[in-house]
Amino acid sequence: MAEKQLSKVLKRAFIRNLVRRIASLVVILGIAYGLLALVYASRTIFKVKMNYAVVLERLGGQREAITSVGWHARLPLFTRIEQEVSLMNQRLYLGGQVEPMRIISKENVALWTSAVLTYRIRDIRTWAIENLDPMTLLHGDYDGIVKDILQAQEVDKLISDREQIKEDIFTALKSRPINEGGPTLEEKYGIEVISFVLKETRFGDKLVEATEEKKRRELIAEAENYAADQEASRIRKLYTAYQQGIQTLQNTLGRPDGSTDMALLQFLVQQKWAAAYEKNQAGQNTVVIQNTQGSPGLNLPLPNSAAEYNEE
């Protein structure tokens, strides 16, 4: 019995020791995890990723850019991480928005355009240490340069010559000083301008409708002018034929002494006009009879119904 009781006591003691050890291990692991979490949260130990840089501010006010990839340590109370900067290619939209923005051309015509600049930070010290809020500053200079070039163009060039305008803007962004004698964008911000794309340039919806309406009216006016020219040409040809006919009659009725039998000429002219009226009374809107010596009497033929009535 004594041996059994002794074995039970030993087992209980073993279990108690095991539980205590496990509890102690859990507590130690928890404390270690908490310390690690605290260190990570305070970024006492931090990691610099590839194509990224970290700017540290030390207690004395010095600012340092760290670009080497890997893990780094800092003193928690004497330094702080000011910012983390990406060194990869980045986009910058015109007006800070993807949607097209409104501009005014050289002729004071409103258009909508959108563009995007691709750039990359090459000098982290110039970008993050020498410029306060560099992204806002870059937005302002970028929008100013692009708008100056776009709004100095004629509206026809903005629509039809976009390729050349895009190249001019890229050259200005990459190498032209922001102001005369001043730095370029690349020099001021420590960046490299990779590319510039002019995505679209278009008229407003109301201007498009007005332009289409103007084209429609111009086409109608051209059609009306063409019809008027055709009518005038037909009248000129008819008048020329009439003159030639009268001249032929006058030459045929000429006397040996060179004079003309006016009575016979007037009679034949009246008959010619009567025949012309009879042929063109349906479909001919106007018949002009010109007589500078008086009002000749015309013997017009009666309509068929009236002629049959007289015969009866």
Q: Is residue 167 part of a domain?
A: yes
Cα separation, 23 vs 29, whole angstroms: 10
3-state secondary structure labels for all residues of 178-239: CCCCCCCHHHHHCEEEEEEEEEEEEECHHHHHHHHHHHHHHHHHHHHHHHHHHHHHHHHHHH
Task: Check whether residue 149 and residue 82 sit in a common domain.
Answer: no
How many domains does the chain divide into?
A: 3
Q: Is residue 150 part of a domain?
A: yes
Task: Check whether residue 199 and residue 135 sit in a common domain.
Answer: yes
Task: Check whether residue 79 and residue 105 sit in a common domain.
Answer: no
pLDDT of residue 138: 95
Q: Which is more confidently placed, 195 or 2?
A: 195
| Averaged pLDDT, 215-228 | 79
Per-residue pLDDT at 193 exceeds 70: yes
Task: Check whether residue 180 and residue 250 sit in a common domain.
Answer: no
Task: Return the closest-CA partner of residue 141 out of 111, 173, 165, 164.
Answer: 173
pTM, entire model: 0.56
Q: Is residue 214 part of a domain?
A: no
Task: Check whether residue 47 and residue 111 sit in a common domain.
Answer: no
Identify the CATH number of the domain in which residue 200 sits: 3.30.479.30
Q: Which is more confidently placed, 209 or 55?
A: 55
pLDDT of residue 287: 47
**Token output for 227:** 């019809």
Where a domain ends, among 175, 208, 241?
Answer: 208
How do residues 85-97 score in pLDDT, each as one tens digit? 999 999 999 988 8
Task: Check whether residue 201 and residue 121 sit in a common domain.
Answer: yes
Where a domain ends, among 86, 120, 137?
Answer: 86
pLDDT band at residue 295 using 50, 70 and 90 as cut-offs: very low
Task: Check whether residue 181 and residue 126 sit in a common domain.
Answer: yes
Q: Is residue 6 part of a domain?
A: no
How far from 141 is each of 99, 133, 197, 223, CA to CA, in Å? 19, 13, 17, 52
Q: Is residue 182 part of a domain?
A: yes
Q: Is residue 238 part of a domain?
A: yes
pLDDT of residue 273: 60
Cα separation, 251 vs 259, whole angstroms: 10
Q: Is residue 221 part of a domain?
A: no
Q: Which is more confidently placed, 191 or 227?
A: 191
Task: Check whether residue 80 and residue 185 sit in a common domain.
Answer: no
Q: Is residue 148 part of a domain?
A: yes
Per-residue pLDDT at 3 exceeds 60: yes
How do residues 243-293 score in pLDDT, each as one tens digit? 777 677 666 656 555 555 566 666 666 666 666 555 555 555 444 444 445
pLDDT of residue 117: 95
Per-residue pLDDT at 10 exceeds 60: yes
Task: Check whether residue 58 and residue 163 sit in a common domain.
Answer: no
User: Which of 28-42, 112-126, 212-226, 238-252 is predicted with the least confidence, judged by mean pLDDT?
Assistant: 238-252
Q: Residue 118's domain spans which residues?
A: 90-208
What sign does the dihedral 135-138-142-148 (CA atoms) show? positive
Task: Check whether residue 104 and residue 75 sit in a common domain.
Answer: no
